[in-house]
Amino acid sequence: MDPTQTDERIRLLYRENAVPVDIRAFKEGLAERLPARSGSRSQRVMRTVSWAILGLGMAAALGFGVYTAVDSLGGDQPTLVIGDDIMTGAPGGPGAPAGPGATAGPGATADPGAIEADSVPDPPFSLSSDMARELGEALLREIPDLGFEVIRAWGVVTQYDPPSPAWITLGPEEPVQAFIDIYIHTHPAYATAGGADFPYHALPAGDSADISVPGATAARSVVSPAGDYYQVVALTPEDMTIIAISRVTLTEHSSTPRPTPPIELQRLAGLVAFAIERLAALSATGGGETAATAQAEDGHPADDGHHVDAVSVLVDAPPADIHSIDFRGLWATLAEAAGVESTGATLERFEVFYRPSGDIFHLRLQVLTADRYLLSCSYMEGAQTVHLYGSRCPENEPLPYSSWSTPLQPVFAAIDTLKIGTFESQLEVTNDVAQLVLCTVLRDANGTAVIHAPQPASYWENSAFLPLGPEDSRRTAGSTDVVLGMGLGRHAHDGGADLSIKFDDLSYFIIPAESATSANGS
Amino acid sequence: MVDRQAERLIRSLTSIFLDRELAADAAQDAFVQLYKHWDEVTKRGEPTAWLFRVAVNRCKDYRRAITRTSRLVQRLIGAHPRSEASDDWTPKADFLSILAGLPARQRIAAALYYEADFSVAEIARVMGISEGAVNSHLHRARAALRDILEAS
């Protein structure tokens, strides 16, 4: 069966099995909702289900977990509060906020992460506002079978932090979806694998599982014309602290052809150079129709006329070649081929995940050049593909949050010091996964110190920017000292491709700048 | 827009999330949002892709919560999630089974390609991934679905 024939038969298969749709009823329901939105049917259903679940939880009274989903904060508010990338202070982990009322730490500055440079922080949509606090508690009280008293009996207090000045508004673009879910788990963390539940640490080796983390978490999502935003907050028995704010999507992406058959690694730099060159040309033209023309000249007719401001390149390569990639060599080659200035480049992100065998199954290296090009190289085990990404930060927009003060050279020197100059691991690990994250201590104008490190007890994100508490010794590290964070944990996926890792053990090392400089030979 | 897109949106979402109620709810949500932000969205020139993206994201969020709910129900009382087949919808069991076994991204790519007749470029915009990644997901989904065809 040739591919075209297969596609036609699969289309027929879909048609034969299509769900009948009552368009008239759908439109009637839609018409009812258009004038005034008072919460979706799903949300009401979910709340009802949640109440039922919570009731069962009460009836069971056996210390099982309790879950509830609560309704929307409303989608009509004119502002959207977001931050750039991940900002985290996970409860109990290094850098966790000192206690109730602690702020999100890394967000305590106005510039990084801002999308609209002239935007003014505005809290009406923020969980941090007094209004949100009232609303949050009111929502929890709405749950009749649980009751706020029960929550209080558990020691959970819905305390929202004051808004961070770093939170910014999205300008004229309104969020189009906004809602908050709160999950409360009182049972110990468990993992479900093969239809059975296991204590977290007893998960069969090599198995994958859904993982539930202890404590309570809450998440808020916003979908807007400018992108999707996902905010995670956490309830701990002591307080409620914002632990993560993530920006998921901000730019349109365009891909270059995926080369086949696999090519030599030496050509990677050339491909990225091509991508960035095209990117620069498109940026210079201002996008629109000109961008479409430029794409057409490259053999890729634009069908939407969108301005292209980022380019992805996927390159196939044998795993052995990928494993032998040299960090510093790759960076130098990329910079040279792309014609960017390597001096003054800063580290945006560096992560490596190892297996006990020493194999790398995921890595990510992102560098921001002084002339505002973001170069990224990532690899996922088994894909036999290196993903290279180039984007250009517009002149009038602030640099990514993580690039304030992380010089690149000490990081590379630290890599040399640790003898992990290539992707092949020299580390001994004792658990399923080890993650390394390198960065220098970041500081904002207010002196808040942050490091990029593995995140404990995380379901959604593996690493994040952790604020350092006032007693944290890492605060005293020099601006060019490199902090190596290392986490050991287990890896699971959520029934699909989603990667979830919980790090049980976290440690860190401070590599003095002198050592790094010495190792660098400079 | 509703006339043109509602049916294929609901069917696509059902193929992705295997839950028709969820699909209809998310589709309504997406249309409501599109209505509210029509000027903004159409200025960007791709209301259909935007509509599908919002609907898919909405379903994901619902599903994320529902998954946890279902798991808890099972833990507490041993109950199982309801079956999706009904009097007026009797999809082939192996079709549902194959779809349910596909990773989420493959299911989304396949539904948008085969059910909604989106191009690879359009799917890439809806999913926020590269066209190469879409092709990769489609390739794997196609291989799985081909098994049904060959078995029949």
What pLDDT was estimated at residue A68?
21
Residue A28 lies in a domain: no
* A365 vs A111, residue with greater confidence: A365
Examine the domain organization and report whether A258 and A243 are in the same domain.
no
Q: Which residue has the tokens 């949002």?
A: B33
Cβ contact A368:A344 at 8 Å: no
H helix or E strand, kind and range, residue A435: strand A433-440
Q: Do A46 and B65 touch (CB under 8 A)?
A: yes
User: Which tokens hold the place of A445?
Assistant: 């104008």
Examine the domain organization and report whether A164 and A213 are in the same domain.
yes
Residue A14 lies in a domain: no
How does residue A329 score in pLDDT terms, banded at 50, 70 and 90?
low
Mean pLDDT computed over every residue of chain B: 73
Q: Do B119 and A303 touch (CB under 8 A)?
A: yes
Distance from CA of A507 to the nearest CA of B (A): 31
Q: Average of pLDDT values for A154-159?
A: 32
Q: Give the span between the Cα atoms of B151 and B147, in whole angstroms.
A: 6
Cβ contact B150:A9 at 8 Å: no
Domain boundary among A219, A247, A275: A247
Q: Give the span between the Cα atoms of A331 and B20, in whole angstroms.
A: 49
Residue A12 lies in a domain: no
Q: Do A173 and B72 touch (CB under 8 A)?
A: no
Which amino acid would we find at residue A295?
Q
Examine the domain organization and report whether A275 and A216 are in the same domain.
no
Examine the domain organization and report whether A216 and A363 are in the same domain.
no
Examine the domain organization and report whether A202 and A69 are in the same domain.
yes
Q: Average of pLDDT values for A2-19?
A: 83
What pLDDT was estimated at residue B4?
82
Q: Give the span between the Cα atoms of B98 and B103, in whole angstroms.
A: 10
Which of chain A's residues have a Cβ under 8 Å away from the Cβ of B45? 304-306
Residue A32 lies in a domain: no
Q: Do B15 and A14 touch (CB under 8 A)?
A: yes
Distance from CA of A269 to the nearest CA of B (A): 19
Residue A125 lies in a domain: yes
Examine the domain organization and report whether A201 and A275 are in the same domain.
no
Q: Do B26 and A42 touch (CB under 8 A)?
A: yes
| pLDDT tens for each residue of B8-54 | 899 888 888 777 788 888 888 888 878 777 776 776 667 888 788 88
Distance from CA of A228 to the nearest CA of B (A): 9
Distance from CA of B91 to the nearest CA of A (A): 5
What pLDDT was estimated at residue B96?
76
Examine the domain organization and report whether A243 and A275 are in the same domain.
no
Q: Do A27 and B2 touch (CB under 8 A)?
A: yes
Distance from CA of A325 to the nearest CA of B (A): 23
Which of chain B's residues have a Cβ under 8 Å away from the Cβ of A212? 68
Q: Give the span between the Cα atoms of B47 and A304, in whole angstroms.
A: 11
What pLDDT was estimated at residue B62?
64
User: Which tokens hold the place of A19?
Assistant: 């769900």
* A522 vs A376, residue with greater confidence: A376
Which of chain A's residues have a Cβ under 8 Å away from the Cβ of B2? 23, 26-27, 30
Cβ contact B109:B141 at 8 Å: yes
Which of chain A's residues have a Cβ under 8 Å away from the Cβ of B39? none
Q: Can you list the domains of chain B with their CATH numbers?
A: 2-151 (1.20.140.160)
Q: Give the span between the Cα atoms of B14 and A22, in whole angstroms.
A: 14
Q: Do A10 and B46 touch (CB under 8 A)?
A: no
Domain boundary among A222, A247, A272: A247
Residue A514 lies in a domain: yes
C-alpha distances out from residue B1 to A181, B30, B59, B114, B120, Å:
30, 12, 20, 20, 21
Q: Do B73 and A53 touch (CB under 8 A)?
A: yes
* A40 vs A412, residue with greater confidence: A412
H helix or E strand, kind and range, residue A30: helix A23-33
| Facing residue for B130 by CB, picked from A37, A304, A312 | A312
Residue A3 lies in a domain: no
Examine the domain organization and report whether A284 and A349 are in the same domain.
yes
Q: Give the span between the Cα atoms of B9 and A309, in whole angstroms.
A: 29
Degrees to nearest 5, angle at CA A213 with A460 and A72: 60
Cβ contact B151:B93 at 8 Å: no
What ipTM describes this predicted complex? 0.83
H helix or E strand, kind and range, residue B3: helix B2-17
N-to-C CA span, chain A: 62
Examine the domain organization and report whether A166 and A293 are in the same domain.
no
Distance from CA of B130 to the nearest CA of A (A): 5
Cis peptide before A261 (omega within 30 of 0): yes
CA-closest candidate to residue B116, choices B1, B10, B38, B28: B10
Q: Do B29 and A223 touch (CB under 8 A)?
A: no
H helix or E strand, kind and range, residue B124: helix B120-127
Q: Give the span between the Cα atoms of A423 and B76, in whole angstroms.
A: 45
Around Cβ B86, how many Cβ atoms within 10 Å?
A: 12
How many structural domains comprise chain A? 2
Which range (A178-182, A244-248, A344-348) has the least confidence?
A244-248
CA-closest candidate to residue A457, choices A215, A177, A184, A280: A215
Examine the domain organization and report whether A143 and A262 are in the same domain.
no
CA-closest candidate to residue A215, choices A246, A238, A196: A238
User: Which tokens hold the place of B136?
Assistant: 């990769």
Statement: residue B84 has pLDDT above 60:
no
Q: Average of pLDDT values for A196-215?
A: 40
Statement: residue A493 has pLDDT above 80:
no
Q: Give the span between the Cα atoms of B14 and A267, in whole angstroms.
A: 43
How does residue A80 score in pLDDT terms, banded at 50, 70 and 90?
very low
Phi, psi of A310 (to 5 degrees): -155, 150
Domain boundary among A213, A247, A281: A247
User: Which tokens hold the place of A496?
Assistant: 């699909």
Statement: residue A140 has pLDDT above 50:
no
Cβ contact A374:A294 at 8 Å: no
Q: Do A255 and B132 touch (CB under 8 A)?
A: yes
Q: Give the span between the Cα atoms of A430 and A202, in whole angstroms.
A: 15
Residues with Cβ within 8 Å of residue A72, at least 6 apart in sequence: A39, A40, A43, A178, A179, A180
What pLDDT was estimated at residue B59?
76
Residue A415 lies in a domain: yes
- Domain span at residue A201 reads 38-247
From the number of C-beta atoms within 10 Å of its C-beta (0-12, 13-18, 19+), residue A14 rates as buried
Q: Give the span between the Cα atoms of B106 and B11, in whole angstroms.
A: 16
Best residue in B2, B7, B21, B29 for a mutation probing chain A (most A CBs within 10 Å): B29
What pLDDT was estimated at residue A36?
46
Cβ pairs bridging A and B (under 8 Å): 191
Q: Is this structure's pTM higher than 0.80?
A: no
Q: Give the span between the Cα atoms of A25 and B6, in whole angstroms.
A: 11
Q: Give the span between the Cα atoms of A440 and A411, in whole angstroms.
A: 8
C-alpha distances out from residue A219 to A71, A304, A393, A424, Å:
12, 33, 29, 37
| Facing residue for B24 by CB, picked from A13, A26, A173 | A26
What pLDDT was estimated at residue A21?
85
What pLDDT was estimated at residue A389?
60
H helix or E strand, kind and range, residue A443: strand A442-443
Statement: residue B143 has pLDDT above 60:
yes
Mean pLDDT computed over every residue of chain A: 45
Statement: residue B72 has pLDDT above 80:
no
Q: Give the span between the Cα atoms of A321 and A384, in whole angstroms.
A: 10
Examine the domain organization and report whether A407 and A510 are in the same domain.
yes
Examine the domain organization and report whether A363 and A400 are in the same domain.
yes
CA-nearest residue to B14 within chain A is A19
Q: Do A177 and B58 touch (CB under 8 A)?
A: yes
* A306 vs A336, residue with greater confidence: A336
